[in-house]
Structure 1
Amino acid sequence: MTPIRIFFNLELGFRTKFDRQPKSNSPILFFVLIAYAFFIVGCSKSIEPRNVSFYGEYFDLELLIMNPERNKIQILELHAKEFNNKDLEKLPSLPELSILSIRGTQISELKSLSITKFPKLATILANETNLDDAGILNWQNPPVLTKLNFANTKIQNPTWLALFPKLRNLNIENTGVASINEIINCPDLVNLWLADTSVVSIKPLYSLQNLNYVSIDSLPIPDEELKEFRKELPYAKLVRRGSIF
C-alpha cells in the first residue's frame, strides 16, 4: 500500500468516526492526517528489499543484475527449473547475501560461489539439483558455510566435507552416500540428516560432541553402534520416523 493510498484510507476512516463531531475539529484532524502521511512516507523510504525470489520455468537474470538495491539482498531464492551453472556464474556480487536457495534447478557445481563475491553467505540450499561430488570438490574459494542442504542430489563420497569446518547443519538424505568418515572434519556439527542413504555405520559421529540430532530412517545401523552412540553422546537424538532412540 502506497503512502498516498494509506493517507486516503485513513482520512475516510477518521471522517467516518468523527463525522458527528463539531466542525471545529476539522482543522485539527486535517493536520493530524498530514503529519501521519509524512510519517508513512518517511518509513516507506527506510524499508529496503531483503528477500528476493524467482520461480517458474526461467527468468531474466538482468532483473537481478540491474536491481539498484541488490547490495542489500540477504536472502535469494532462484527456483527456476532451467537455471544452470552458467546462470550461477553470472550472479553479481552480493555483499550482504546470507542465504541462497537453488532448489530444483539444473545446477551441478558451486565453484562460482566464492567468498569474494558472497562474503557473508552461510547457507546454501541445493537440494533436488544435479550437484555431484566433483561439483563441490572443484570449489576453490568457498564462503564460510554453516548450513548445507544437498538432499536428493547425486553426491556419493563426501570427502569435500573438509572444505566446511564450521558446518553446523548438513542434509544429505536420499543420496548415494555410503560412508561418513569425513564428518570428523566438522566438529561444530549440530544437526545431521542421513535418512535414505547407504550409510551402515555411525561410528564417525562419536567424536562430535556438539551433535544434537541425527536422522537415520531406513539405515541398518547395528544395535551395538546405537548403544555406543547413546553412551558417547547421551544428549543427542537418533531419530527414525515414529521413534527417537
Structure 2
Amino acid sequence: MSNLHLHTALQALHRIFVLPNLLERTSTLPPAAFPRSTVNSRAIAPLVFSRTLTYIERQKLRKTTSSAKLDERIASVYVNFVTPENEFLPLRKLSDVISGIDRETHHIVQVADGNRSASDPKDRIPVVKLIRKQELFEQALKQAEIKRTNKKKSVSGKTIELSWSIDGNDLSHRLRKAQEFLDEGRKVDVVLAPKKRGKVVSEKECEELLDKIKGEFIGGTKEYKDAEGKIGGLLTLFFEPDLKKRKNKAPEADA
C-alpha cells in the first residue's frame, strides 16, 4: 500500500472513531486537541445599527436574561454559529465567536441544544446566533406584558346574581361562593333584581337584605365603587379584596 493510500485510510479512521469522542470531551482537552477554528470577522461585521441601552434598560435586561444561555454561559467549547446573513458555520470555537462581536450592543445566544445521540459530530453541539441587546430587551418587555395580561385574565371578576326575595339558605350559599372568589383575589359584583313572578318585597326588607350582604363581607373586603341602580329594582354592588386589612388580619389569625 502506498504512503498516500495509508494516509487517506488513517484520516478516515480518525474521523469515524477518534473525532466523535474528542467532541464529547472538549471541556477537558487542551486547545491543541482541535485545529484552531476561525470566525471570519466579515461574517459578523455587517450589523444592523443598534443603540446602546440605557443603564435602567441594561439592569432590566440583566434581570430578565439571568438564566438565559448566552455568551460565556453557553456550556460548550465549540458551537455551530449562524451569522446575521443566516450562513451556517459549524464547529466554531465559542471564544472566537464571542471575540468577534461588539459586546456593548450584542449577545451570542444559544437557540438550540446539541443532540448528544446524533451520529454527525456537528449535531452534538449547540447552535448559537448573534442577537442585538435591544432586540432581547424588546422581547423581554413583550413577554412581561403577556405575563401581566395572563395574570389579569386568571383573576377576572365574577358576578353573583340574587333576587330581592331570595330565601336565607340560598343567600348563605351564594354569599359563601362570593367569599371564595374574593379569597382568590377576584372582584365580585353582586346583582340584585326583582323576580318577575315573585312576591312583592317591601323597601324595609330590601334594606335588611343589603345589610346582610354587606355584613357578610365586613373585614377583608371593600366596595371599590358606589352601588348602581335602585333598591327594590336592579341594583349592583361592587366588592373587591381589601389587601391592607387582609394583610393586617393574617398575623392575628396565626396567633
Q: TM-score, normalised by structure 2?
A: 0.24
Comparing both chains, which one has the higher relative contact order based on Cα–Cα distances under 8 Å and sequence gaps of 6 or more? 2
- Report the structure number with the largest CA radius of gyration: 2
TM-score, normalising length from structure 1?
0.25
Give the strand-richer structure, 1 or 2.
2
Say which structure is richer in helix: 2
